[in-house]
Structure 1
């Protein structure tokens, strides 16, 4: 049976979000989450659709990819297809051939779910380990401690404050209030929240977006930032706890974040908020720099 790759229209993104939600399980590998699609939605629905690839068999989506930049594809595979050779081979063939319109020539990377056949076949096809990432997870079955700071859920009237916090936290951030409104208009944001932490003077010090995949499924943090002039004061731990509390309230089973292993400070911050690191994972790379 043919496995067909497609770039969905804007109207097809609802089905993509639906299957990504269904594929999230605590017992499974960390893979592309509806929140990743939701965060990308800051660029608008049309650009999100253009960056999405689906693989379908008999009308059923069995894999989803998001071009999170021109040279990086992030993948999710349906649990029923984790070890399906035909699905894995088709995905690898499509992604590896620049003419098929997924990744270009030159140095490119793909993020694949650990333990799936598609990852194994990429390795067999000559793709090599790239940058190490550390996934961290906290179970939300038990109550989460109070963060100890004032935390607000941000709506359109306060979007400018949340938007301003990201460029103050990340040197290369291009986030704007217009992008906040585009993100908030996206389908995945129906299950998301943007939180803002303030210090004792009322100044914004940290921001986070949390994305639920539905009741009983893991939620993710993407992004989390602490204002560069308010670091080393515990605000990172506080906003992480606030994120975990928000996801628990939304019914999420756990909170997950994945960050570069080289960012030792970020890993330490998440651990201080009770997120336990899992085995490191690596992107797979092809080509030379």
Structure 2
């Protein structure tokens, strides 16, 4: 893979990120002359058992959690993602197409609807029945609805959906450095603990 990448960089520098739990990949990078360049942003892998989940927190009046039911909610889910991340990448059409592709299951892609019916927050889960493991990707809250406990509530609802499907474990990746601490704090409040982190090589 390194040889393939080197042949397509026109002499530019190669870089890669690998998990701490992948020592064989770190060794391969070092054999090819790359060195660890930690010091900037990095990702952390967090996991937790699906046993003894926290109690569901109460939602503010008028908010409710559910799977997307209408075309308007699919559009609202895409709009909430764009607002949460300041990105134009997830359009209504792109999100609708993704919902048609295996292994997507609507019961693991939950939204928090506001009193006005807008999508205020969401947690998209992916579930691997063979491993009994669910993963969050992505999670977001519209800026107009933050600091109301919505992300925590919808994440917990997806954890419960994983457990109801027979799952044993949930995992998520997020920034682990101090420059972007909020997502990690959210997941730790739900009982997630670190099991790995990434290292940068160049």
The structure with the greater share of residues assigned to helix is 1
Per the TM alignment, residue 230 of structure 1 is displaced from its structure 2 partner at its CA by 1.5
Equivalence for 1:60: none
Give unmatched runs, 5+ long, in structure 2.
none
1:79-228 equivalences under 5 Å are: 94-98=1-5, 105-112=12-19, 114-125=21-32, 126-130=34-38, 131-149=41-59, 150-155=64-69, 157=71, 158-190=73-105, 193-200=108-115, 202-228=117-143
What is the CA-CA distance between 1:197 and the residue it aligns to?
Answer: 0.8
Is the 2:76–2:118 Cα contact (8 Å) retained in structure 1? no
CA contact (8 A) 2:46 2:172 kept: yes
Partner of 1:285: 201
- Provide the rounded CA distance (Å) in 2 between the counterparts of 1:227 and 1:205: 5
Q: RMSD value over aligned CA atoms?
A: 2.8
Alignment CA distance shift 1:221-1:186 (3 Å): same
Residue 183 of structure 2 corresponds to 266
Runs (5+) with no aligned partner, structure 1: 1-93
Secondary structure at the aligned position of 2:152 is classed as: helix
Query: Deviation at 1:151?
Result: 0.7
Instruction: State the TM-score, normalizing by the size of structure 1.
Output: 0.58
SS of 1:212 mapped into structure 2: strand
SS in 2 for 1:278: strand
Query: Which residue pairs with 1:82 in the alignment?
Result: none
Preserved contact between residue 112 and residue 154 of structure 2 (Cα < 8 Å): yes
Considering Cα pairs closer than 8 Å and 6+ residues apart, tell me whether 1 or 2 has the greater RCO: 2
Provide closer, same or farther for how the CA distance between residues 265 and 252 of structure 1 changes in structure 2, counting only shifts above 3 A: same
Shift >3 Å, 4+ stretches? 99-105, 110-113, 199-203
User: Residue 277 of structure 1: CA displacement?
Assistant: 2.8
- Work out the number of aligned pairs and report it: 192
Distance (Å, rounded) in 2 between the aligned partners of 1:129 and 1:282: 11
**Contact 2:20-2:198 at 8 Å conserved across structures:** no
**Residue 110 of structure 1 contacts residue 284 of structure 1 at CA under 8 Å; is this kept in 2?**
yes
Contact (CA 8 Å) 1:191, 1:212: kept in 2 or not? no
